[in-house]
Structure 1
Amino acid sequence: MERKMEDRVMELMTQLESIHLHRPSDLHHSTSSKTQNTNSFSENLLQDYGSERCSKSLRSSFVEDSYPSNGLTTTCNQEGWEMRWTAGYGRYLITSRNITAGEVIFREKPLLLVPKVASDPLCLACLKTLDHKGCRCSTCGILLCSPDCPGGSHGAQECCLLSRLGLKSAPLNGRDVKELHALVGPLRALLLATESSAAREALSLLQSHKEKRMKLPIGRFVEDRIVKTLRSRLGLKVESEIIHHLCGVLDTNAFEVTLENGGRARAISVLASFLNHSCLPNAQRWYTQGHMTVRASVDILKGSPILINYTQTLWGTIARATHLSSCKMFTCQCKRCLDPMELGSHMSSVACRECQEMMTPPETPRRPWLCPNCGTSTDGSAIEALVRAGAVALGRLTSDDLQGMTSSLTHFSRMLGQNHYIVAQVKYALVQAIMKRPLKDVNFTDLAQVVDLTKELLKLAACIEPGLTRFRGLLLYDQTRAEAEVIDRCSSSRGDTNPEVRDSSLKDITASNPTETSTNPLQTLLYQAAECEYILQYDPLLQEVMELTRQLRWRMESDGSVMTSNATPGSNPGRHCGASKSHSSLE
């Protein structure tokens, strides 16, 4: 069995040479030319491969002793990672040397881009979301942003096949659009596999869980809506199992990405597909300028698995477990999932109705929840119903309903406690809703609330997702913008400020960054912006962050302030934010 798997791993490495990988040194701010490697990607992998090499004991502060010490190994040391295989974990990547927080581990172009199944109407050529009715393809009738859209996703062969659906003269409602999106993904994967032997081999070796999926409702949907359509209506002579495999590959391995045109898509990036999951990750993926970038969010020791989060950071344990079991077909055993207190964050705990002490979830679902302080017992099914009701109410909130969000925050905090994950999601949604408005239209009370909420959420982020993460970067961005506006209003004595509020706000801003000794609030904000810029250097928001940094620097120069060396992006400010730490309790 192991010999057969070894052959398939080597076969995959051979096929991957058609996928263009960028060197980790290809950083965002670098403009120097790159030295070309004379060996192909697969040759670099295979030259050090040997079946006699056994993996050493993995060292990781994230998944201690959970990975086996034997397995197959193939290496590419100059990239900083190695590929391993074991029966329990399949193929996964580990570090071949110590990796520093903020260091790029690898970059790659996606093998395939397909529309999100449940997305709003979008152009199937460039995958841009349509904010209008758009137009229809003159041949097959699918939606396009314009008749001459330059997007290359909708090829001639796909167009010819889709024309057999008869969409050209038929209206498309919301359900039709979603079913079309569900069909286009596996169709594009199938056409790609037909055109390229390298892509076909890569897709065949990615995990699909098709055997499990075919027994579930998703398997019946694929059979009824996709397999039958591809075979009977489009006339493709392809086995049912192949289509089920491709659908499983997309659902299991695709990453949701934001494109340069603002559209949302699913991307298959082969190397990134081998990254294992942890709810306490040590790396993050970024998609910008057509490339998937994987970067260390904390320091990673040599021999540790490279781990990313397949779920949402602000979900509780049960919500994360439900998503992973239903969509990814496995159960997470990371430290956060195994800890009822979720690393001290209490995101799944509920406040006792008698004394407000945190009650942690029982080991067995639907068992009574016991308060460790007063001993009050609460029926487990009642708490589950309360959490479900909160999740439904959260889903109904709209970004323009600030009053509804504020009242929901008060209500959920009283019913579930300040630390519950639904409360954390409402806090973050409220910050985003306030900060998406023009700052001149935001009153001082809302600005102060943004500052307070981002501080709370930054403390939470340091606990459940430490290091140089996008969540921290986005929070820093909104916090810095809000604080800069507060300073501007206080200095000009305009708006709804008074001396006491002004003095208190400026004092809070100056003290918001404990590593900065300057008493100048602008100096503190410039430091925050520099850290934010460093974190988000591969994020689509980077240009806005750089503009914020430029404005703060101009303000300081206009005021005659002197910058310290810490307030420059090039000094790696991420080293000062606890990026090398695994997690810290909120308590």
Structure 2
Amino acid sequence: MTENLKEKFIIEKNDKVGRYTVASEDLKPGQLIFEELPFAYGPKSDTYCMCLGCSAHVDCTNLCSKCSWPVCSTECENLPVHKDNECQVFANANVKFQSVNDPSEICLQYECITPLRVLLATEKDPERWKTEVQIMEHHNEERKKRPIWQFNQTNVVDYLRGPCKLERFSEDLIHTVCGILEINAFESRTPSGSMLRCLYPKLAIMSHNCVSNVHHAIDCAGKFDSKDFRVFVRSATDVKKGEELYSSYTYSLWPTIVRREYLRESKFFDCTCPRCSDKTELGTHMGTLKCQKCDNGVIMSTNPLDNTCEWKCTHCEFKTNGVAVRKVFAAIQADIDGVEGLFGAEGIEAREALFRKYRSVVHPKNAYMTILRSSLVQLYGNSEGYTVDDLPDLLLERKIELANLLMEVLDKIEPGFSRIRGITLYELHAPILILARHQYQSDLINKEALEKQMKEALHTLGKAAEILKNEPLSTPEGQIGQLAQMAHQQLTENFDLMVENA
């Protein structure tokens, strides 16, 4: 996966935003800009009990023979990420893991692990700490005013300097490390499905935009050493030399009022990007509601950069405010969270029920309808009893409709080479192909129309393969990308025969 290419960005600085990156040459979609190893990585805050080697979920019955903290096995206790970091500290200080009643619940004992790994990395690689990491944003002065400061004081600072006997790390340094992690870390998934946070100094320099022009993919090879979790940063769209490179620090499918709230609370800035500044969210209406007082009106913010401003109907005199709208969105999100763990037929039926429940409340392309569409597109065709070959024509049409409406939104907010666009295109190609064959066999379309629809499926599959080809094979998206490339080649080679035998 490693590509030894010259980095295609330069770092610039101004008084308004500080450091930021621009393209050092013209970039095409999918082009590698740089790759980077994390300075450190480890458990997220508020995590459940996990192996300190491979990060898999554990029941805490197996403990490391040296430090007595949870691991899966002797093999895991000897993985470098654990053996060369906290294991030595805990063993030397005789700090043992305290048993818990439910390993699946949040375990505060893990709060210290990733900050500790960063602190130890400052000693192992002082040059990188000094030149890349120490200068990252931490917002200590603002964080001191929030509950997180005392939380870290108790669960990280006092624990490391007290029982762990790490007085060599000052309170100020430990708080700074906590701040750097909270504001700059990126999430990554392990092969077991656990989510970790990784610190990438170069990637973190990139400014935020709610419509990013770069895409990053993290490769977890499963070695859990200093060479694992390499990130590959690529252009998502065409970028001209000298144009700023933008990452995204938030979830693109959230509406503006939710994204801005998250960025203010977690990243300490108010986003004023073009998407946030537009009442229609670039024409997607992801934050728009339907008016309940008239037939044709929709309710939009009068000032999307003010979360408490007035929201007005476009056709009648109805008014509300951002606080009330936020409560509506929170209620919908709670309902969606409630079905998040449901899959198969049950998951499909639960999400379709929510779709029906809220279609009279929010705009058809509202963020929460988009989130439901994204889930349903992947469930239809990939669930027991609902495999793509099982689906009747009515549900094939439903999957196609869901995917096409989702793509209309993604083309605006996730343009170019993004994982969600690649996955959606992959999910779209098969129902187009199968439905065309069914319609031809039922004499609903002629051979010319059949060939046209099959070419559409081929093109859709090819685009999916092109987008996903650079995803690491250690990820589900990378594995789907490999399947897409093989399927595209096979369909291309046998296209005429498939049309003839339809």
- Aligned counterparts of 2:389 and 2:107: Cα–Cα separation in 1: 37
- CA deviation map 1:314-342 (0-9, x unaligned): 01111111111111111111100111111
Conserved? CA contact 1:125–1:153, under 8 Å: yes
Conserved? CA contact 1:481–1:548, under 8 Å: no
Q: CA deviation at 1:234?
A: 0.8
- Aligned counterparts of 1:157 and 1:370: Cα–Cα separation in 2: 56
Tell me the residue number matched to 1:358.
298
RMSD of aligned alpha carbons: 2.8
Question: Are residue 346 (structure 1) and residue 288 (structure 2) matched?
Answer: no
Q: Give TM-score, length-normalised by structure 1.
A: 0.74
Question: Are residue 327 (structure 1) and residue 266 (structure 2) matched?
Answer: yes
1:101-250 correspondence runs (5 A): 101-130=29-58, 135-149=62-76, 151-163=79-91, 164=93, 166-167=95-96, 170-171=99-100, 173-174=102-103, 178-201=107-130, 202-237=132-167, 238-250=169-181
Give the AA of the match of 1:144: V
Q: CA deviation at 1:528?
A: 1.6
Give the AA of the match of 1:228: D
Tell me the residue number matched to 2:403.
454
Unaligned runs of at least 5 residues, structure 1: 1-20, 25-77, 494-498, 511-518, 564-587
Deviating more after overlay: 115-124 vs 158-167 = 158-167
Relative to structure 1, is the Cα distance of residues 211 and 168 closer, same or farther in structure 2, using a 3 angstrom cutoff?
closer
SS of corresponding position for 1:449: helix
1:456-471 correspondence runs (5 A): 456-471=405-420
Tell me the residue number matched to 1:475.
424
Q: CA deviation at 1:195?
A: 2.2
1:278-289 correspondence runs (5 A): 278-288=209-219, 289=221
1:279-318 correspondence runs (5 A): 279-288=210-219, 289=221, 290-318=229-257
Give the AA of the match of 1:543: Q
- CA deviation map 1:546-568 (0-9, x unaligned): 324434543564564499xxxxx
- Aligned counterparts of 1:503 and 1:137: Cα–Cα separation in 2: 65
Tell me the residue number matched to 2:225.
none
Relative to structure 1, is the Cα distance of residues 287 and 174 closer, same or farther in structure 2, using a 3 angstrom cutoff?
same
1:257 is matched with which residue: 161, 171, 188? 188
SS of corresponding position for 1:205: coil
Conserved? CA contact 1:138–1:168, under 8 Å: no
- Aligned counterparts of 1:386 and 1:169: Cα–Cα separation in 2: 41
Conserved? CA contact 2:462–2:488, under 8 Å: no
- CA deviation map 1:284-322 (0-9, x unaligned): 111125421111111112211110111111011111111
Question: Are residue 421 (structure 1) and residue 357 (structure 2) matched?
Answer: no
Tell me the residue number matched to 1:522.
454
1:550 is matched with which residue: 466, 483, 486? 486
Relative to structure 1, is the Cα distance of residues 553 and 86 closer, same or farther in structure 2, using a 3 angstrom cutoff?
closer
Tell me the residue number matched to 1:443.
391
SS of corresponding position for 1:105: strand
Give the AA of the match of 1:480: H
1:275 is matched with which residue: 172, 185, 206? 206
Q: CA deviation at 1:219?
A: 1.0
Deviating more after overlay: 538-547 vs 163-172 = 163-172
SS of corresponding position for 1:327: helix
- CA deviation map 1:373-400 (0-9, x unaligned): 2333346544333222112112111332
Conserved? CA contact 1:23–1:79, under 8 Å: no
Relative to structure 1, is the Cα distance of residues 489 and 250 closer, same or farther in structure 2, using a 3 angstrom cutoff?
farther
Deviating more after overlay: 162-171 vs 467-476 = 162-171
1:67-78 correspondence runs (5 A): none
Q: CA deviation at 1:488?
A: 6.5
Give the AA of the match of 1:338: S
Q: CA deviation at 1:178?
A: 3.2
Q: CA deviation at 1:432?
A: 2.8
SS of corresponding position for 2:16: coil
- Aligned counterparts of 2:108 and 2:430: Cα–Cα separation in 1: 41
Tell me the residue number matched to 1:387.
329
SS of corresponding position for 1:249: helix
SS of corresponding position for 2:80: coil
Q: Give TM-score, length-normalised by structure 2.
A: 0.85
Tell me the residue number matched to 1:406.
352
Relative to structure 1, is the Cα distance of residues 436 and 165 closer, same or farther in structure 2, using a 3 angstrom cutoff?
farther
SS of corresponding position for 2:81: coil
SS of corresponding position for 2:234: strand
- Aligned counterparts of 1:169 and 1:368: Cα–Cα separation in 2: 51
Q: CA deviation at 1:196?
A: 2.2
Deviating more after overlay: 362-371 vs 347-356 = 362-371
Give the AA of the match of 2:468: L
Conserved? CA contact 2:462–2:484, under 8 Å: no
Relative to structure 1, is the Cα distance of residues 23 and 89 closer, same or farther in structure 2, using a 3 angstrom cutoff?
farther
Q: CA deviation at 1:162?
A: 2.8
- CA deviation map 1:152-172 (0-9, x unaligned): 210255113334575457346
Q: CA deviation at 1:521?
A: 3.4
Give the AA of the match of 2:463: E
SS of corresponding position for 1:135: coil
- CA deviation map 1:465-517 (0-9, x unaligned): 221222211111111244345457667x7xxxxx38x759x96xx7xxxxxxx
- Aligned counterparts of 1:222 and 1:407: Cα–Cα separation in 2: 41
Give the AA of the match of 1:449: R
- Aligned counterparts of 2:110 and 2:433: Cα–Cα separation in 1: 43
- Aligned counterparts of 2:7 and 2:249: Cα–Cα separation in 1: 23
Question: Are residue 375 (structure 1) and residue 324 (structure 2) matched?
Answer: no
- Aligned counterparts of 1:394 and 1:529: Cα–Cα separation in 2: 29
Tell me the residue number matched to 1:94.
22
- Aligned counterparts of 1:125 and 1:181: Cα–Cα separation in 2: 13
Relative to structure 1, is the Cα distance of residues 152 and 441 closer, same or farther in structure 2, using a 3 angstrom cutoff?
farther
Q: CA deviation at 1:535?
A: 0.8
Unaligned runs of at least 5 residues, structure 2: 222-228
Q: What is the percentage of aligned positions where both structures have the same residue?
A: 23
